[in-house]
């Protein structure tokens, strides 16, 4: 494989990504993310701004204790300050203190910044760039030069923008990275300017884009097409303002759709979704359901025609195989569903002996349409839909029957928290009656605890079931307090997750319905083992 066919992935999640609103990595999380990125096969991991804060410097010290298999750790910094000797510049000395193999420095390309922000001369700025690159090279570092605001600077003064790259080259920079720092350039501009730079300089060219125009990935790919061999970005695309170039999409597109490749081993692409979710978890962010390649909706099919097509020929409605990026196909159930959607669910349930033109399939569709008119939505309630199928096919088994419940919310004193208590009466299949009490943080939690207490002796596996998510939607807000309420509950036993739905004018009754579906689905799963 020629060097030209390899795209080097430079991950700045731990530095540029950490600048995103609402994103913070603990010291332990930074180490864990770095180890995950290394095992995934990225080429560079930018650990932080060396002169910025003690936490970043602590990371550089701790990461040296880890035996990274492939990735090289980079410390980030800037050119020396104006009119300061390089050996006296604190920021540059901090880069040496970080003791990393790679140092990435940014310098000003745009005269606007040189004159109005740095308050120095264009000539001094060129010396700052050259001095800093040379100093770091003399100390044995691989030097990556980030030409900040390069595309804006080039539009303003092409000659000066190119002079800044020449200064970095004279200083010995190993890679010249063209930065669309404001995220405002269009793909054709990035391609044209990157091509010009690529033809003018013998040094390797990289690209660093932001997503302020929703073009971060497109601009990075255009730079690669123009000859850039390094892409800087973040996992899941988070970063300052609207975010950075999303490396998840860059990696998948390069491997799946170009003649180039990336990662230490391209076969690691199958771990893409896992890496995306892991980084979100460490950043304390929820996964983006609609994220390309790795989102839960990325390969979700809803319209009957789409489902029918993808069942016959997967690429008819899927641009890549879900498995190739570690994702899975999902068939959604809604008012747009047809027999193909129902058949997919029947196959999932092992009921593939039913013909799609059978009366049972028509009855399932009719029942579903009736339920959806009443406010039920089954897209995120797969378990409830499977319960509906079992009821239509007369295969539903009731493990217990409700005789009644009562839920009390009490605030005993002004400054005391509210206390919720639920009492529950059930009749089991052997006609045995059970009466239990549960307490919880709220009325639904109390009802859930009472139900678990009631069933634990007879169905021990219920102890494994936890409520992972609880969402409420008001269906007809114009009805005010008399409005119908839809409750979605996500349950898990640690191995599988499933969604259920309930609808009622009473939020507790709607919650009970979703709770029961969730518990019964778990018991059905146990019986099928």
Q: Residue 360: its pLDDT value, please?
A: 81
pLDDT score of 332 more than 90: no
Pairing mode, if any, of strands 230-233 and 175-180?
Answer: unpaired
Q: pLDDT value at position 339? A: 67
Measure the CA–CA gap between 489 and 131, rounded to whole angstroms: 60
19, two tokens: 């600048």
Domains annotated for the chain, with CATH where assigned, are: 3-282 (3.20.20.70), 300-373 (no CATH), 400-528 (3.30.160.270)
The whole-angstrom separation of Cα 211 and Cα 236 is 12
Mean pLDDT over 114-125 rounds to 97
What whole-number distance in Å separates Cα of residue 208 and Cα of residue 220? 7
Please tell me the predicted confidence (pLDDT) of residue 133: 98
Structure tokens at 522: 């778990």
The stretch 174-180 carries a mean pLDDT of: 98
* Separation of alpha carbons 143 and 515, rounded Å: 58
pLDDT for 2 = 45
pLDDT digits (tens, 9 = 90+) for 350-407: 666 677 778 888 888 788 778 878 888 777 778 888 888 888 888 877 888 899 999 9
Element (DSSP H or E) covering residue 309: helix 304-312
Long-range contact set of residues 258-262: C-beta below 8 Å, sequence gap at least 24: 258/224, 259/5, 260/5, 260/6, 260/7, 260/224, 261/1, 261/5, 261/6, 261/7, 262/6, 262/7, 262/8, 262/9, 262/231
Q: What is the CA radius of gyration of the chain?
A: 29
Distances, alpha carbon 493 to alpha carbons 61, 170, 466, in Å: 39, 60, 6
SS (H, E, C) 314-329: HHHCCCCCHHHHCCCC
Cα 82 to its chain centre, rounded Å, is 40
3-state SS track over 478-512: HHHHHCCEEEEEEEECCCCEEEEEEEECCHHHHHH
* Strand order across the 419-428 sheet: 400-410, 419-428, 433-440
Q: What is the pLDDT of residue 304?
A: 67
Asked whether residue 342 carries a pLDDT value surpassing 80, the answer given is no
Mode of pairing for the β-strands spanning 44-49 and 72-78: parallel
Please check whether residue 262 is in contact with residue 8, taking contact to mean a CB–CB distance below 8 angstroms: yes
pLDDT score at 37: 98
For residue 225, pLDDT over 70 is answered with yes
- Overall average pLDDT of the 423-452 stretch: 90
Residue pair 129/59 in contact (Cβ under 8 Å)? The answer is no
């990662």: which residue's tokens?
A: 263
The mean per-residue pLDDT over the stretch 487-492 comes to 92
What whole-number distance in Å separates Cα of residue 412 and Cα of residue 332? Answer: 46
Q: Which 8-state DSSP code applies to residue 462?
A: G
Q: Global pTM?
A: 0.74
* Tokens describing residue 101: 């193999």
**What CA–CA distances, in Å, run from 319 to 246, 298, 315?**
18, 10, 6
Report pLDDT digits (tens) over 445-473.
999 999 999 998 889 998 888 888 898 98
Mean pLDDT, residues 261-281 taken together: 96
309-323 confidence digits (pLDDT tens):
777 788 888 899 999
- Residue 306: its pLDDT value, please? 76
What's the pLDDT at 54? 85
Band of pLDDT at residue 55, cut at 50, 70 and 90: confident
Q: Has residue 507 got a pLDDT over 80? A: yes
- Higher per-residue pLDDT: 345 or 433: 433
| CA-angle at 441, arms to 436 and 446, nearest 5° | 20
Distance, CA of 479 to CA of 493 (rounded, Å): 37
Give rounded-to-5 percent helix, strand, coil for the chain: 45, 20, 35
Give the pLDDT band (50/70/90) at residue 1.
Answer: very low
At 523, list the tokens.
Answer: 């018991």
CB atoms under 10 Å from CB of 220, counted, come to 30
Q: What angle do CA 376, 379, 384 make, to 5 degrees?
A: 60
d(CA 407, CA 228): 64
- The confidence score (pLDDT) of residue 333 equals 64
Average pLDDT value over all residues in the chain = 90
Neighbours of 272 (CB within 10 A): 24
Closest C-alpha among 320, 290, 294, 288 to residue 302:
290
Query: What is the pLDDT at residue 170?
Result: 98
Token representation of residue 98: 């970080």
Indicate the pLDDT class of residue 163, thresholds 50, 70 and 90.
Answer: very high
Residue range 462-488: mean pLDDT, rounded: 81
Helix/strand/coil for 351? coil
Residue with tokens 């901090």: 94
Three-class secondary structure of residue 279 per DSSP: helix
pLDDT tens per residue across span 228-247: 999 999 999 999 999 999 99
String of b and e for 197-208 (b: at least 16 CB within 10 Å)?
A: bbeebebbbbbb
**Maximum mean pLDDT: which of 151-155, 430-434, 443-447, 476-480:** 151-155
**pLDDT of res. 335:** 53
Higher-pLDDT residue of 254 and 483 is 254
CB 86 within 8 A of CB 143: no
336 pLDDT exceeds 60? no
């Amino acid at each position: 494989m020629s060097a030209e066919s390899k795209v080097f992935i430079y991950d700045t999640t731990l530095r540029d990504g950490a600048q995103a609103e609402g994103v913070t990595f603990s010291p332990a999380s930074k180490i864990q993310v770095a180890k995950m990125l290394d095992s995934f096969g990225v080429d560079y991991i930018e650990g932080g701004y060396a002169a910025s804060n003690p936490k970043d410097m602590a990371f550089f010290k701790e990461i040296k204790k880890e035996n990274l298999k492939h990735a090289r750790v980079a410390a980030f910094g800037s050119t020396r300050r104006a009119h300061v000797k390089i050996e006296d510049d604190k920021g540059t000395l901090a880069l040496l203190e970080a003791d990393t193999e790679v140092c990435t420095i940014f310098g000003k390309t745009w005269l606007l910044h040189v004159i109005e922000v740095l308050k120095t001369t264009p000539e001094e700025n060129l010396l700052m760039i050259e001095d800093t690159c040379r100093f770091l090279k003399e100390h044995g570092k691989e030097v990556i030069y980030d030409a900040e605001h390069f595309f804006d600077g080039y539009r303003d003064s092409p000659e000066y923008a190119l002079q800044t790259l020449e200064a970095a080259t004279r200083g010995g920079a190993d890679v010249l990275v063209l930065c669309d720092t404001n995220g405002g350039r269009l793909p054709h501009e990035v391609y044209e300017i990157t091509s010009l730079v690529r033809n003018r300089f013998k040094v390797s060219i990289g690209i660093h884009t932001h997503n302020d125009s929703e073009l971060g990935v497109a601009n990075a790919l255009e730079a690669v097409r123009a000859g850039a061999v390094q892409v800087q970005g973040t996992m899941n695309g988070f970063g300052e303002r609207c975010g950075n170039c999303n490396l998840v999409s860059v990696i998948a597109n390069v491997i799946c759709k170009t003649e180039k490749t990336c990662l230490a081993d391209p076969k690691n692409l199958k771990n893409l979704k896992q890496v995306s979710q892991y980084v979100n978890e460490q950043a304390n962010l929820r996964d983006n359901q609609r994220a390309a390649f790795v989102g839960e909706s990325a390969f979700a099919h809803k319209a009957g025609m789409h489902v029918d097509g993808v069942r016959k020929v997967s690429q008819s409605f899927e641009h890549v195989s879900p498995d190739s990026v570690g994702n899975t196909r999902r068939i959604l159930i809604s008012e747009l569903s047809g027999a193909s959607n129902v058949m997919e669910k029947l196959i999932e349930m092992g009921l593939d002996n039913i013909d799609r033109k059978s009366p049972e399939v028509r009855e399932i569709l009719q029942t579903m349409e009736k339920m959806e008119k009443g406010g039920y939505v089954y897209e995120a309630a797969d378990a409830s839909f499977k319960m509906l199928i079992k009821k239509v096919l007369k295969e539903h088994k009731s493990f217990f029957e409700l005789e009644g419940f009562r839920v009390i919310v009490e605030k005993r004193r002004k400054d005391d928290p509210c206390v919720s208590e639920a009492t529950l009466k059930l009749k089991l299949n052997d006609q045995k009656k059970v009466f239990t009490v549960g307490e919880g943080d709220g009325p639904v939690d109390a009802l859930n605890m009472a139900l678990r207490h009631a069933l634990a002796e007879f169905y021990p596996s219920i102890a494994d079931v936890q409520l992972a998510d609880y969402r409420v939607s008001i269906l007809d807000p114009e009805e005010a307090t008399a409005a119908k309420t839809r409750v979605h509950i996500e349950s898990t036993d640690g191995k599988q997750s499933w969604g259920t739905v309930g609808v009622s004018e009473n939020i507790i009754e709607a919650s009970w319905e979703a709770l029961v579906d969730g518990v019964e689905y778990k018991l059905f799963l146990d019986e099928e083992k």
